[in-house]
Chain A
């Protein structure tokens, strides 16, 4: 975000005094707020524990505890599970955002931001972009760890980059849902509770951990409409090879739809929140 504004010189007092907010101003506000969120992470490295450890724990747990039983072949299961875990990790990280946002709202810093002549959406967008950076770190840890365990990138670098990018896009749309929850509910605990209620069925009622064909009919139907199944299928196809058009376009469609609905609602809640 620093790079985005580095080329835009703003040396004059008259430019500053103009009270109209240009798109360029918005970008700078978003950049400054994203930077603030990233500096907070730097100042509090413990906040990266979930990002670093979750992909490792999930991978170990499912590959070695359940892997043999699920597929009878740990190597094959790695190739099946790891791409889907991009989606699972993204979901877990995204749903935690609302809890943090809710606690942030109790601090005076938010009042300060809200009393500044900036678009209030910049505060939320800055938060989302910082979360995207966290997500990217987590995905990198997941892929690197999986490579150590013997994951094969059958389609090479473009495939894995595509999968990570897709998971990131979808995760960013989930962040808006999470922020909406965080802005709507009264306490951080409540947000966390509801977040879990969302995460568990979406995560396990999908094709992330196991093929859905053995599931009972109603659950099978649920997994088919669950966008996390689309995402897991898309990431698997991108990394292992196979047809990608349907699953990728479904994921993009879901991402756009979720963002289009929840982002304006979240910004509105943030504007009105006392």
Chain B
């Protein structure tokens, strides 16, 4: 129990960065799952999933609807028992030490798990009391988190009057009350508008900066790229790839730069110019309006812009797009049609 007392329950009312000494006392991997199997009747929701989240990092679990992401989170938060396999979180076994494990984690579900009829502050106070905070501490913690998540004005209103984004923020706040060492975020931005999504991303980054380990499930490649250090891609209950985000991006071709020429007639010349300069894959988009260039890294992005600027082309607009989940899947499964598991080279470690 010496490790649990250190981080999650310290009573300072400000968030503190965990010291290296505390991290050092924890197991190297915050989450380790081996061969997790969960069947629902004939459906194999999870079919032997291995997964590792390193301490202090964000693992993105990427997969389409029905891939088994939520089932995995439910197994790792002791809500359901796996049919086979083993897993530890913060060093605690999901089957043998569920109570200690629950003290280690914070859970934010796909559907905001707050009580609609209670106000924001009542919701947080309740969770605080259930996590053994004193009345005074539970109240103080609620005030502190409401403030942090910009909900102070709405604190007294029933949660059912909240917007989608406010609910999601309240849900995040609720999962932060016990200062969990490991946070599960199950599709935290599904169904949110772009602005609200950015707010949630900001919060997640802040939690990570403060030392939380995060297991994030998502359907969006962009979200994984924004937040995660490592990625595990799952499909139909199986892991089909895992590695670093950069490794996976190299695998699937990374971002695409799109350039709108100031003078549309110059598009073909731009493509020729880049090809001559040794840039691979520069093409005009099918509609003939944009220049499209696959980008491996930031240096290449700079180089391409440099070439275009250097040759005096006018640029009316640029953006970069990350590959969609479909493209990621196509790249992974296309490469590994004989073998269902691709392990992506990890140069980052």
Contact = CB atoms under 8 A, between A and B. Distances in A.
Nearest to B134: A10
Contacts of A29: 129-130
Contacts of B129: 28-29, 31-32
A245 interface: no
B330 interface: no
From B1, B102, B131, B134, name the one whose CB has the most chain A CB atoms within 10 angstroms: B134
B202 interface: no
Interface stretch (A114-122, A133-141, A146-154, A210-218): A114-122
Contact of B109 (A13, A25, A35, A108): A108
Q: Is the interface of A mostly helix, strand, loop or mixed?
A: helix
A39 B134 contact: no
B210 interface: no
A34 B133 CA distance: 17
Contact of B9 (A13, A107, A115, A272): A13
A232 to B, nearest CB: 35
Interface stretch (B14-22, B113-121, B332-340): B113-121
B9 A16 contact: yes
Contacts of A40: 115, 117-118
A39 B130 contact: no
B154 interface: no
A44 B158 CA distance: 11
B122 interface: yes
B4 A19 contact: yes
From A11, A33, A117, name the one whose CB has the most chain B CB atoms within 10 angstroms: A117
A274 B99 CA distance: 18
A236 B154 CA distance: 51
Contact of B111 (A21, A44, A108): A108
Contacts of B99: 19, 21, 117
B158 A43 contact: yes
Contacts of A109: 113-115
A17 interface: yes
Nearest to B40: A274
B324 interface: no
A36 interface: yes
Contacts of A32: 126, 129-130
Contact of A107 (B78, B113, B122): B113
A121 to B, nearest CB: 13
A127 to B, nearest CB: 13
Interface in A98-121: 107-109, 111-118
Interface string B89-115: 000000000011011010101011111
A19 B130 contact: no
Interface size class of A (residues with CB under 8 A): 35 or more
B107 A115 contact: yes
Contacts of B81: 272
A29 B133 CA distance: 11
B5 interface: yes
A216 to B, nearest CB: 47
Interface in B60-83: 74, 77-81
B127 A43 contact: no
B118 A39 contact: yes
Contacts of A115: 77-79, 102, 105, 107
B267 interface: no
B132 interface: yes
A117 B10 contact: no
A9 B126 CA distance: 18
A40 B10 CA distance: 31
A117 B103 CA distance: 5
Contacts of A18: 1, 5
A186 B19 CA distance: 48
B11 interface: yes
Contacts of B113: 107-109, 111-112
A234 B264 CA distance: 94
B45 to A, nearest CB: 10
B134 A11 contact: yes
Contacts of B5: 14, 17-19
A43 B105 contact: no
B174 interface: yes
Given A33-B126, A117-B131, 16 more contacts: A9-B134, A11-B136, A17-B9, A18-B1, A19-B103, A21-B99, A29-B130, A32-B129, A39-B117, A39-B118, A43-B117, A108-B109, A109-B114, A116-B127, A117-B102, A272-B81
17 contacts: A9-B134, A11-B136, A17-B5, A17-B10, A25-B132, A32-B126, A33-B126, A35-B126, A36-B115, A36-B118, A108-B109, A112-B127, A113-B130, A114-B79, A116-B127, A117-B100, A117-B102
Interface of A: 9-11, 13-14, 16-19, 21, 25, 28-29, 31-33, 35-36, 39-40, 43-44, 107-109, 111-118, 272, 274
